[in-house]
Structure 1
Amino acid sequence: MFWSAALGADSPTTPPPSSLDEAQRTANDAAGWVEENWSIWLSNGLRIILIIVIAVAMRHLIRRAITKLIARMNRSAEAVDGTALGSLLVNAERRRQRSEAIGSVLRSVASFLIMGTAALTVLSVLKINLAPLLASAGVAGVAIGFGARNLVTDFLSGVFMILEDQYGVGDEVDAGVATGTVIEVGLRVTKLRGGNGEIWYVRNGEVKRIGNLSQGWATAGVDVQVRATENLDRVRSVVIAAGEEMAKAEPWNERLWEPVEVLGLDAVYLNSMVVRVSAKTMPGKALGVERELRWRIKQALDEAGIRIVGTAPWEAEDEAGSDPSAAVAAPSVLANPTSPQSLATAPIPAPLTPGTGAPLGK
């Protein structure tokens, strides 16, 4: 018996038959699982590829359509630029920058929506629970919004300013924090050139109110100060004639949108009166029209013999002649011969010749 036990100990160990059967069963189960699910994997893979292809193609088509629309808008603006119709519309550069900004926003929004939707669809195909992901994205969005609220405010303000066409390139605007000519409109910053040539960078979120001096039409106002003795009807006729002559000349015939109008007396002083003249002009051209109108009114009044006086108190001309008392000398003590001053200035008599009593030398 001992010998049998020793022989059993020295013989090689063989795995029990149950382990081979279990491995074979496991392999069969894996092969069966793969065979059962390969069709699902293939269909999911094809669905994912199809979703990505459709998203990329749709994004390309939409961005291309937006680009073509923006290019067509720019061509239509350039076609009317420099014409009488173009003066009533925004200029080509303003239209170009506005359309480019709108196109950039539309392309970004389209790309975000299409690719975001495609990503969520792919995750849903992969049987991934989107609830925790969306919750995390919401929390991250809130945190980023609080951290970059100024940037978000600037961006949203710029989008609405461009969409509403509150101002554009070439407009004279008063933004509160700065005043000048708009040279560039962006989604975050607007550039203004001031009267002295300086460039102001104004964040769109800081603009609380906008005064556009170049939108619609402008008013040119001129004050004509004449003597109080002038005939008002004659002054009115001369001013209106000068305005009509100006409206027929180039380029003022396009910049003047309505005839020059004499509104009436704006102020009456002791020796002068102010006549108010107004004209409706092309937006942004009011200052030039005012200068030219003053020039022509001054020339017309000079030819008509009507004198323009300044803002300082006017001194009346000497029509009654000089004052007669101006030639009278001031009283003097020398006019009285008995005064001490007259006696002191009396001539000294010549010495007499002794014995004769005659003046010396005679």
Structure 2
Amino acid sequence: MHTASWVEQNWSTWLAIGLKVLLVLVIAVVLRKFVLRAITKFIDRMNRTAESAEGTTLGGLLVNAERRRQRSQAIGSVLRSVASFLILGTAALMVLSSFQIDLAPLLASAGVAGVAIGFGARNLVTDFLSGVFMILEDQYGVGDSIDSGIASGEVVEVGLRVTKLRGASGEIWYVRNGEIKRIGNLSQGWATAGVDVTVRSGEDLDRVRATLDEVAEKMAKEEPWNEILWSPIEVLGLDSVLIDSMVVRVSAKTMPGKALTVERELRWRIKRAFDAAHIRIVGGETAVLLDEDTPDPTAAVAAPSAFSNTDSPQVAATAPIASPRSATAGK
């Protein structure tokens, strides 16, 4: 009787609570699905933009499709996780409040647990947050050559916790994002190729400049250098003047990551042009150091000894002194 009467008195309350909980869950599921779909469309739009830019030189380097794809996927993953946590967490709190459960102790306990977990996993949290900001700010991406201070190389993969680099010798570096304090990106903007040409101090500077200008003009018109070079090759002038040599500086702006390639090609062409023009390239300071380090061939030859001459005073001083008896007998 008591149970039946209790149910009869409270069924409307329980029905209202059930309908409220059901409504909250339905709204949460629908809202989450809508938000996730909007995020997916946003990420797909970013990927389509990356694919359309892939065909150009600028797109192939600075907005690389694979780089943009990983960046958009990482951003999408973060947005989905945050959206799901906020929507489902809010729905759970509303469901608990519908049952008239006091949320203050629960939230306090959750706060203490969160602080403890955050303190224990602070390195993981630091890595994650650093990775999120690196991706959002587009500090580097797949295909970039970077110097992180800890390691340097080409970026193979960018994650929320770890960045994977391939070093100059082919080794793979796994660098935690939280350990990266500075980033030097060698693949953004442009690079500078510089070549120092050391010639004899007696060379005609006008002839040297004319030869270098001819090399620069010819190289700038040939493929693939006409695309790699982003500015004319300039002869900057004398960088230094020594007693027996002088250094002429040649410089140019290049495509990111191509400075070393341009420098090697420039040295090759300058050497051939100088040989044809009978302009001698000297070693400069390096050659002087090598000459100083060359052993003297006469260093191993001993100096002539004074004892080699039998009439020398040194030999006479070492001869035994004759006794008086021997001298008398001789007389």
Short-chain TM bin: 0.7 to 0.9
Q: Please list, as runs of the form range in 1=range in 2, the aligned pairs for 1:256-335 lying within 5 A after superposition.
A: 256-311=229-284, 312-313=286-287
Q: Please list, as runs of the form range in 1=range in 2, the aligned pairs for 1:177-216 lying within 5 A after superposition.
A: 177-216=150-189
Where does the alignment leave 5 or more consecutive residues of structure 1 unmatched?
1-26, 315-362
Amino acid at match of 1:70: I
Give the drift of 1:162. Answer: 0.8
Q: Secondary structure at the match of 1:313?
A: helix
In the superposition, the TM-score normalised over structure 1's length comes to: 0.76
Q: Percent identity?
A: 75
Q: Secondary structure at the match of 2:194?
A: strand
Amino acid at match of 2:225: W
Q: 1:117 aligns with which of 90, 97, 117?
A: 90
Amino acid at match of 1:74: N
Contact 2:199–2:280 (Cα < 8 Å) also in 1: yes
Give the drift of 1:72. Answer: 2.0
Residues 208-260 of structure 1 deviation map (CA, whole Å, 9 limit, x = unaligned): 11111111111111111111111222222221221222222212112111111
Residues 30-79 of structure 1 deviation map (CA, whole Å, 9 limit, x = unaligned): 54442332222112111111211111122122122212221221222122
Q: Secondary structure at the match of 1:230?
A: coil
Matched, 1:83 2:56: yes
Of the structure 1 ranges 297-306 and 219-228, higher mean CA displacement relative to structure 2 is found in 297-306
Q: Please list, as runs of the form range in 1=range in 2, the aligned pairs for 1:93-108 lying within 5 A after superposition.
A: 93-108=66-81
Amino acid at match of 2:271: K
Where does the alignment leave 5 or more consecutive residues of structure 2 unmatched?
289-331
Q: Secondary structure at the match of 1:192?
A: strand
Residues 160-186 of structure 1 deviation map (CA, whole Å, 9 limit, x = unaligned): 111111111111111111111111111
1:67 maps to: 40
Q: 2:110 aligns with which of 137, 141, 150?
A: 137
Q: 2:138 aligns with which of 165, 182, 193?
A: 165
1:329 maps to: none
Amino acid at match of 1:200: W
Give the drift of 1:85. Answer: 3.9
Of the structure 1 ranges 244-253 and 29-38, higher mean CA displacement relative to structure 2 is found in 29-38
2:11 maps to: 38
| Counterpart-to-counterpart distance in 2, 1:158 and 1:292 | 38
Give the drift of 1:126. Answer: 1.2
Residues 96-135 of structure 1 deviation map (CA, whole Å, 9 limit, x = unaligned): 1111111111111111111111111111111111100000
Contact 2:162–2:174 (Cα < 8 Å) also in 1: yes
Q: 1:156 aligns with which of 112, 115, 129?
A: 129
